[in-house]
Chains A and B, each alone.
Chain A
Amino acid sequence: MATKSLLARKKLMAKAEEQLKFLSNGIFNNELPTFKNQLEKINDFPLKPKSLEILQLNLGYMCNQVCEHCHVDAGPDRKEIMTKDTMLQCLEVIKSTSAHTLDLTGGAPEMNPNFRWFVKEAAKLGVKDFIVRSNLTIIRANKKYYDLPQFFKKHNVHVVSSMPHWTRGKTDKQRGEGVFDKSIKALQELNAVGYGMPNSKLKLDLVYNPSGAFLPSNQEALEQDFKIALKEDFGIEFNSLFTITNLPISRYLDYLIASNNYEDYMYKLVDAYNPAAVKNVMCRNTLSVSWDGWLYDCDFNQMLEMKVNSRIQHIKDYNEDQLQDRTICISQHCYGCTAGAGSSCQGSVV
């Protein structure tokens, strides 16, 4: 398993333009329909936003883990971190946005030196659902993070954490040696302060993404399996499981190409394309803000450096009415959000 990002290893797929070039050629030249072709068939091209519900802020690409399928290409060697100035600009937007959900992600957002300050300030603004995407192991990575469960509780943060499987082998293979044991310990600590417990208001959701070149199965059935296994083996409780399809970008795209799975995977995504999922894809109700304040339709477009198609492209110039009038940028990676029951940061969408 790699210990450095694609960027640090100077891999071709670290570059957004190379990824987009790759995704637009090969089998999409004549064998398979492009995502644009599919939208045209259902008269949904160009794709337009619906009302804004989620503001997702990426606090930086630094992470204590180097997961095999990370679409951010995050890792300890990534130095891109949101500054306090940009955070102040975000806070101004949060005050006036119509979005009801604030979603902090990374990398490991907790590694941003201003993370706690920002959470305290944002929590004061009365956001309905305040999500922090925590990779769990960060809670056990260093003493300075040990009190994160109490900190999250104090600010009524909704914790959403990645957990690729209920077994050690599968989890460690995707996320690194020792990740499973640390994640279990962190989940138990979150449970201990009330997260995910029956009748508790503190929400703890898990995110499942397949550890290989296959699609996720039915979200409810997997949630049931996770609940039984984690409860029986470790006494762990949680609220919901979100299944997320791996999108063919960044480290996952690199893995698909290296393992000779790229074409088969794209065929799977195209075969599983579900027009009904287009209605609820997350780019239609989300805005994604990068560590340096640029605006994107979603976190995936952020990684592909496809800024919003609007005159307003930076948080400092934020104007929600103008942004809502934009058209959404698409490429073949979008098939990942429309396969089967669909996929989003909140799980399936159909």
Chain B
Amino acid sequence: MSDSYYDPKDLRKFPKITEWSEEVGTKFFDYYGKVFEKGALSEREKSLIALAVSHVVKCPYCIDAYTQDGLQRGITKEEMMEAVHAGAAIESGATLVHATQMMKKYDKLSH
């Protein structure tokens, strides 16, 4: 066993999850592949969305994968960083918008 929770080499083993649960594993990978095909959004746009979400969900495997995917697609570092900020802004906004709850409660309980 590795003495680290995250080993970059484990990303290559991702497809193996189907070995312990073939039906849902296969369905997941089919779905995943379909989602990232060109549709109303380009594959390039989807790659940037995936990169932003990878940061929000703090998945090191996904960050590695979608940084590389972006490089392969010719996405610049400026575009990548803007995408990460868009994700971060939503994430911090999601925290801050709860401040309205705090304010409401504060006002209710205070004179």
Contact = CB atoms under 8 A, between A and B. Distances in A.
Contacts, number: 32
A218 B68 contact: no
Interface stretch (A12-20, A185-193, A207-215): A207-215
B76 interface: yes
Nearest to A271: B12
Nearest to A214: B71
Interface string B40-54: 001110000000000
Interface in A121-165: 165
Contacts of B76: 167, 169-170
A222 B12 contact: no
- Output the residue of B12, B44, B71, B74 with the most chain A CB within 10 A: B74
Interface in B54-80: 68-69, 71-74, 76
A234 interface: no
- Output the residue of B43, B68, B69 with the most chain A CB within 10 A: B68
A132 B111 CA distance: 83
Contact of B44 (A165, A215, A221, A267): A221
A134 B107 CA distance: 72
Given A165-B74, A170-B76, A225 B68 contact: no
- Output the residue of A165, A169, A214 with the most chain B CB within 10 A: A214
A271 B13 CA distance: 11
Contacts of A260: none
Nearest to B64: A264
Contacts of B71: 210, 212, 214
A166 B79 CA distance: 14
A348 to B, nearest CB: 13
A267 B12 contact: yes
A216 interface: yes
A66 B63 CA distance: 32
A217 interface: yes
A217 B72 contact: yes
Interface in A196-240: 208, 210, 212, 214-218, 221-222, 225-226
A169 B43 CA distance: 23
B72 A216 contact: yes
B81 to A, nearest CB: 13
A237 B21 CA distance: 51
A214 B72 contact: yes
A222 B74 contact: yes
A218 B12 contact: no
24 contacts: A167-B76, A169-B76, A208-B74, A210-B71, A212-B71, A214-B71, A214-B72, A215-B72, A216-B72, A217-B69, A217-B72, A217-B74, A218-B43, A218-B73, A221-B43, A221-B44, A221-B73, A222-B73, A222-B74, A225-B44, A225-B73, A226-B74, A267-B12, A271-B12
The 6 closest A-B pairs by CB, nearest first: A217-B72, A217-B73, A214-B71, A214-B68, A214-B72, A225-B74
Given A165-B74, A166-B74, A214-B72, 6 more contacts: A170-B76, A214-B68, A216-B72, A218-B73, A221-B73, A225-B74
